[in-house]
Amino acid sequence: MAWQSLDIQRRSATTTPMPHAREAVEVAKLIDISQCIGCKACQVACMEWNDLRAEVGTCTGVYDNPTDLSGKAWTVMRYAEIENDGRLEWLIRKDGCMHCQDPGCLKACPAPGAIVQYANGIVDFHQENCIGCGYCITGCPFNIPRLSEQDHKAYKCSLCSDRVAVGQAPACAKTCPTGAIHFGTKEAMKDHADHRIADLKSRGFQNAGLYDPPGVGGTHVMYVLQHADHPQWYSNLPKDPAISPWVQLWKGLAKPLAIGAMAAVSLAGLFHYIVKGPNAISKETEKEVENETRPE
C-alpha cells in the first residue's frame, strides 16, 4: 500500500516528504473527566477490540488494574482521592496515548516507519518496523509507550486506527457508558468541550477547562478537567508537557552531527543491520553506547 493512500503525514526516521495535497479531517477523542465514573469499560473494550489480554494481576490497595500501561494494556484508569475545600473528589483519569500533533515518540524513533502520523492526527505504531529500542518512551512527554515483554516491541493506543479508517469510533469512545469519552473531528470535540466547561462552571468548578497542551502542538486526545489549574491532581497529568529536550536536540543539533559522523560510528552497526536485521543492531549499538559512557 502506498503512503498517500494511507494519508500519512509523518513517518519516523524518514526524511522523504510525505504527500500532503489532500486535506484529511482531523479527528480527536475528548475525555471529560467530570463525566467519568471510572468503570473501565474503555479498558475492556480496548483489550477486546485489539485482541489483547493483560495479566490477571493483584489488588495493590487501589482500584488501578492493570496497575500500569503495558504492551497489552494500552489504556488504564488512574484513580486519585483528592480533598478539596473539605469535600472529597475522586478524580479518575483514563490514561493512554494523547496522539500529539507534535509527537515526541515519532521524533525520537530511529526505525523508519515504526511510528507514523496519519493526516487525521492519529499517531500509530507499526510493530513490524519497531526495533525495540524504547526511545519512543523517552521521547514521550506523557510516558505512554511500553515495550512488550513478549516481543520487545513498543505498543500503545492506536486510537483504533483500523476502526477510524472505516468510519467507526475507537472502541473506548463507542463503549463509554456515560459519554465521558466522545469522538469526532477535533473541532467538534473542542465545541463539545466548551459546552461541558460552561456546565461545570455553572456547578461551581470555576477553573474547569480543556487540556490540549500547546507544548506538543495540541493533542488528538484531550481532557475536560474540573480543575484545569491543577492537572497534577489527576494522577500527575503534566502541567506543561513538551517533547523531551533530547529529542528536540536530535532534531536540531544532533541530527546533522550524527549524519556527519556516520562512517565513524555506525559501520559496525551497519554490518549487524545487514546480517541480523534492525532489532539486533539496536541492541549492539545500545551496548556500545552504554560501554562508552560507563567509565564516567
Partner 1 sequence: MTNHWVDIKNADLILVMGGNAAEAHPCGFKWVMEAKANRKAKLVVVDPRFTRSAAVADFYTPIRPGADIAFLGGVINYLLANDKIHHAYVKAFTNAAFLINENFSFADGLFSGYDAAKRKYDPATWQYQLDAQGFAKVDDTLQDPQCVFQVMKRHYARYTPEVVSQVTGTPRADFLKVCELIADTSAPDRVMTICYALGWTQHTVGSQNIRTMAMIQLLLGNMGRAGGGVNALRGHANVQGITDQCLYSEVLPGYLGAPTDADKTRDEYLAKRTPKPLRPNQMNYGQNFPKWFASLMTAWYGSAATADNGFGYDWLPKKDAAYDVLALFERMHQGQLNGFVCQGFNPLASAPHKAKIDVALAKLKFLVVIDPLATETAEFWKSHGEFNPADPAKIQTEVFRLPATCFAEQDGSFTNSSRVIQWHWKGADGPGDSLSDLDIIGALFTRLRALYAEEGGAFPEPVLGLSWPYRIAAQPSPEEVAMEISGRALADVADPKDPTKILAKAGEQLAGFAQLRDDGATAAGNWIYCGMWSQAGNLTARRDPSDPTGLGQSLNWGFAWPANRRILYNRASCDLSGKPWDASRAVIKWDGAKWGGNDVPDMRPDAKPEEAVMPFIMNPEGVARLFAFERMLDGPMPEHYEPFETPLGVNPLHPDNPQAVSNPAARVYPGDLEALGKAAEFPYVATTYRLVEHFHFWTKHSLLNAITQPQQFVEIGEELAREKGIVNGGRVRVRSKRGEMVAVVVVTKRIRNLSVNGRKVHTVGVPIHWGFRGATRPGYMVNVLTPFIGDANSQTPEFKAFLVNIEKA
Partner 2 sequence: MIDVTRRQFLKITAAGLGGSSLALLGFSPEPALAEIRNYKLARTTETRNTCPYCSVSCGVLLYSLGDRSKNTKAEIIHIEGDPDNPVNRGTLCPKGAGLLDMIHSADRLKYPEVRESGANGWKRLTWDEAFDRIAQHLKADRDAHFIKTNAEGVTVNRWNTTGFLASSAASNEVGYLTHKVLRGLGNIALDTQARI
Q: Which of residues 136-195 bind partner 2 (CB under 8 A)?
A: 138, 158, 161-163, 165-166, 171, 174-177, 179
Figure out which of the listed residues 51, 83, 85, 292 binds partner 1, where binding follows CB under 8 A. 83
- Check binding of 275 to partner 2 (CB under 8 A): no
Q: Which of residues 171-210 bind partner 1 (CB under 8 A)?
A: 177-179, 195-196, 199, 202-203
Closer by beta carbon to partner 1, 10 or else 201: 201
Q: How many residues bind partner 2 (CB under 8 A)?
A: 74
Q: How far is the CB of 52 from partner 1 (least distance, A)?
A: 9
Strand partners, 10: 117
Q: How far is the CB of 4 from partner 1 (least distance, A)?
A: 37
Close Cβ partners of 65 (under 8 Å, ≥ 6 residues apart): 40, 57, 59, 76
Strand partners, 87: 84
- Check binding of 269 to partner 2 (CB under 8 A): yes
Whether residue 177 has a cis bond before it, omega within 30° of 0: no
Q: Which three cell numbers stand for residue 11?
A: 513517518
The backbone region for 277, taken as left when phi is positive above 0, alpha when psi lies in -120 to 50, beta otherwise, is left
Chain CA centroid to CA 143, Å:
8
Closer by beta carbon to partner 2, 151 or else 229: 151
Residue 56 contacts residue 73 (beta carbons within 8 Å): no
- Check binding of 89 to partner 1 (CB under 8 A): yes
Closer by beta carbon to partner 1, 1 or else 88: 88
- Check binding of 236 to partner 1 (CB under 8 A): no
- Check binding of 244 to partner 1 (CB under 8 A): no
Figure out which of the listed residues 33, 133, 222, 225 binds partner 2, where binding follows CB under 8 A. 133
Residue 149's binding partner among partner 2, partner 1, none (Cβ under 5 to 8 angstroms by kind) is none
- Binding residues (CB under 8 A) for partner 1: these are 34-41, 43-44, 47-48, 53-63, 65-66, 73, 81, 83, 88-90, 92, 177-179, 195-196, 199, 202-203
